[in-house]
Amino acid sequence: MKKNTNKNKDLIFNLIQKEEQRQKEMIGLIPSENQSSDDVRSVLSSCLSSKYAEGYPKRRYYEGNQMIDEIEIEAQERLKKLFDVPYVNVQPYSGSPANSAVEFALLEEGDTMMGLALSSGGHLTHGHPKVTFSGRYFNPVQYGLDKNARIDYEEVRQLALKHKPKLIVAGTTAYPFTLDFKKFAEIADEVGAYLLADISHITGLVVAGEHPSPVPYAHVVMSTTHKTFRGPRGAMILVTQRGLEKDADLADKIDKAVFPALQGGPHNETTAAIAIAAGEAMKPEFKAYGKQIRKNADALAAALQQEGLKLVGDGTENHLILIDLTTFGDGFGTQVAFAMDVAGIYANRNTIPNEPCSPFYPSGIRIGTPLVTTRGMKEAEMTKIAQWIARVVDHIKGEQLPAEKTARRLFLKEFKKRIVKDEVLLKIRAEVKEVASKFPLFTW
């Protein structure tokens, strides 16, 4: 972002500059966050953002969309080629509306759908009961994990045979292992269900050949366009050849569910940025990037275990790692997340399988390597990061949450006030800053 040299510049510009500095000086481990290239970012503030384009290419409700049509068609064509699919919709505003659109297209109110339980690493939009669109308007059946913290495919099959879902979702948000799309497809075929693959987290790995593709097995594939894909904050819905063979009208149903059922006009600047990101994903450098994500994840996982920290499933097969902190006390992920932030490393507290505490005070930390890989960090930096995390955990390991809810809130309020001045954590932060500042926010 260019600096605003006006002495009376808006407060917002100052805050943005401070945020950019924060990102440069800290290390980001949130697995759903990433940086995009200058080319991707440049079109997000272009004149495209001021144009209405409700409808689809050649079928708009506003005039003056000749260039917008060409941009959207080009985005579709690039993604069709990249993923080898016959149809793509690039208009969803983000992953949650995209999943909702697929569900709206394929299900009627009260129909049964299956998805991985939130507590097992699934996403809210995969049928989490009561509080979500999918959980309130459809009949959600949730599957879980086996004793090794991996998806229990036999349980998935038995639940499918019992409940006869119309839609099965294969997707995760906090799951460090490979998804077996072939097994999901076999189960879906056995009960006549649609299979939706939500690959939002692993799209970049799929493109790079570091994770199996769902395209030969799923009827519909949904993905966000940031995370490991390194594009803008948006989403895409892919209709596969298998999907069209099951339902020749599937693409049309998806289109109508996105617009006009759930959204208004598309964000044209995002569509253009998706097209740019798709072009970048076709380059050999992107495959190298995806491979390095995996190398970094393996190196970080091994280093964390070397430091004595317990990992869910004993490691990772993708970009994501779940640290199990129950040996230090139930709900300890909350304190560690706050303390890591003070120490210059930001991640997110997260539930672990069979969480003994609650989603508000979880016992785990979810971390990932897409962002640090984008910055150019490699295995040596992963070892340093693991050592810093271990030092944070060791420094605050006696800070146990009270059992009573009100007492917990008061404890955490005081804990956060106290640790921002903690000399040990600030010493780590200075070390982190020295290393992080050597790496740009984006590099090929």
- Pick from 138, 178, 141: which is nearest to 157 by CA? 141
Overall average pLDDT of the 301-326 stretch = 98
pLDDT value, residue 7: 57
DSSP string, 105-148: HH--TT-EEEEE-GGGT--GGGT-TTTSHHHHHSEEEEE-B-TT
In this structure, are residues 326 and 332 in contact, taking their beta carbons and an 8 Å threshold?
yes
Mean of pLDDT values over 129-147: 93
Q: Given the structure tokens 């503030």, which residue do they identify?
A: 45
Q: What is the DSSP string of 168-207?
A: EEEE-SS--S---HHHHHHHHHHHT-EEEEE-TTTHHHHH
For 8, what's the count of Cα atoms within 13 Å in the CB-facing half-sphere? 0
Residues labelled catalytic: 52, 54, 198, 224, 227, 233
pLDDT digits (tens, 9 = 90+) for 199-240: 999 999 999 999 999 999 999 999 999 999 999 999 999 999
Contacts of residues 79-85 at CB distance under 8 Å and 24 or more positions apart, as own/partner, are: 79/236, 79/238, 79/274, 79/278, 81/282, 82/207, 82/278, 82/281, 82/282, 83/207, 83/213, 83/215, 83/221, 83/238, 84/215, 85/215, 85/221, 85/238, 85/239, 85/240, 85/241
Q: How many CB atoms lie within 10 A of CB 126?
A: 29
Reply yes or no on domain 43-281 having CATH 3.30.450.20: no
Give the pLDDT confidence score for residue 405 in this predicted structure: 86
> How much is the pLDDT for 1?
52
User: 388 near 303, Cβ under 8 Å?
Assistant: no
Residue 5 has pLDDT above 90, yes or no: no
pLDDT tens for each residue of 35-52? 999 999 999 999 999 999
Q: Contact, 290 vs 208, CB < 8 A?
A: yes
**Where do the domains of the chain lie?**
43-281, 284-436
- pLDDT tens digits, residue range 368-424? 999 999 999 999 999 999 999 999 999 999 998 998 889 999 999 999 999 999 999
Give the model's pLDDT for residue 130: 85
- CATH top-level class of 284-436: alpha beta
Q: Is 60 strand, coil or helix?
A: strand
- Residue 6 pLDDT exceeds 90: no
